[in-house]
Amino acid sequence: MAHSSQAVALGRRLKEIREANGLSQRELAKRAGVTNSSISMIEQGQVSPSVQSLEKVLGGIPMSLSHFFASVDGSAGDVFFNQHNMFKHEKPYGFMQVVGENLPTRKATLKHFYFDPQTDTGETPLMSPFDQSGWVSQGDIQMTIGAQIKELAPGEAFYLAAYTPCRLKNLSEFNSAQIIVATEVSPAL
């Protein structure tokens, strides 16, 4: 039986979505109220389901037809992160975690800086080639930018232009401090 390229692409996409949602063919079939063989034949590109049939199958995930076709290339990759799949970089002041650091096409970075009590980033100022914005989520941070020194409390924030040197210090003797920093990343040249 000849498989059309559209049926094969549709089947491949359904399989990606099913697996990304942790469903077996049997579980999806049960949820959608169709047979296992129907799911198998669609995923193998052996049949091209009608709009109504595909909508019924997607109802078992649940996912709308528009969402299914809007992301048909399947290139989303990792989109959710937790303590186990974020990179953790040990630092002299504590550690830093980066969301999506291993994604080759990322255009933004979200960093979580964790400062142990009375630690700082060191004598050598930190500097980024990108603009950055940050928000203190826990503790009191002393931030030095050039000749300016400012103490930031939880809920306070900052914005740094590219190549602005800065130093960060946790002022507490007993408590940790945390900062969330967002950075836009330019595409590789």
What is the overall mean pLDDT for the chain? 86
Element (H, E) at 133: strand 132-138
Q: What is the DSSP letter of 47?
A: -
Work out whether strand 108-115 and strand 148-152 pair parallel, antiparallel, or are unpaired. unpaired
User: When comparing pLDDT for 170 and 18, which is higher?
Assistant: 170
When pLDDT is averaged across residues 154-183 and rounded to a whole number, the result is 94
What's the pTM? 0.59
When pLDDT is averaged across residues 126-139 and rounded to a whole number, the result is 93
Q: How far is it, in rounded angstroms, from Cα 149 to Cα 169?
A: 11
Q: How far is it, in rounded angstroms, from Cα 116 to Cα 93?
A: 6
- What sign does the dihedral 87-91-95-99 (CA atoms) show? negative
Place of tokens 């077996």: 24
Q: What is the pLDDT of residue 3?
A: 65
Q: pLDDT confidence of 146, banded at 50, 70, 90?
A: confident
Q: Among the CATH numbers 3.90.1150.110, 1.10.260.40, 1.10.760.10, 1.10.3720.10, which is that of 5-70?
A: 1.10.260.40
The fraction of the chain above a pLDDT of 90, given in percent, is 47
What is the Cα 113 distance to its own chain's centre? Answer: 17
Q: What is the pLDDT of residue 120?
A: 94
Q: pLDDT confidence of 87, banded at 50, 70, 90?
A: confident
Q: What angle do CA 89, 94, 99 make, to 5 degrees?
A: 40
Rg over CA atoms, the chain: 24
Please determine, for residue 189, whether its predicted confidence score (pLDDT) is greater than 60: no
Q: Among the CATH numbers 2.30.30.40, 2.40.40.20, 3.90.170.10, 2.60.120.10, which is that of 87-184?
A: 2.60.120.10
Domain boundaries, the chain: 5-70, 87-184
Q: How far is it, in rounded angstroms, from Cα 188 to Cα 102?
A: 14
Residue 168: Cβ within 10 Å count: 25
Please determine, for residue 68, whether its predicted confidence score (pLDDT) is greater than 50: yes
Q: How far is it, in rounded angstroms, from Cα 34 to Cα 26?
A: 9
Please determine, for residue 2, whether its predicted confidence score (pLDDT) is greater than 60: no
Q: What is the pLDDT of residue 5?
A: 78
User: When comparing pLDDT for 2 and 58, which is higher?
Assistant: 58
User: When comparing pLDDT for 100 and 11, which is higher?
Assistant: 11
Q: Is 170 helix (H, G, I), strand (E, B) or coil?
A: strand
When pLDDT is averaged across residues 34-50 and rounded to a whole number, the result is 90
Please determine, for residue 127, whether its predicted confidence score (pLDDT) is greater than 80: yes
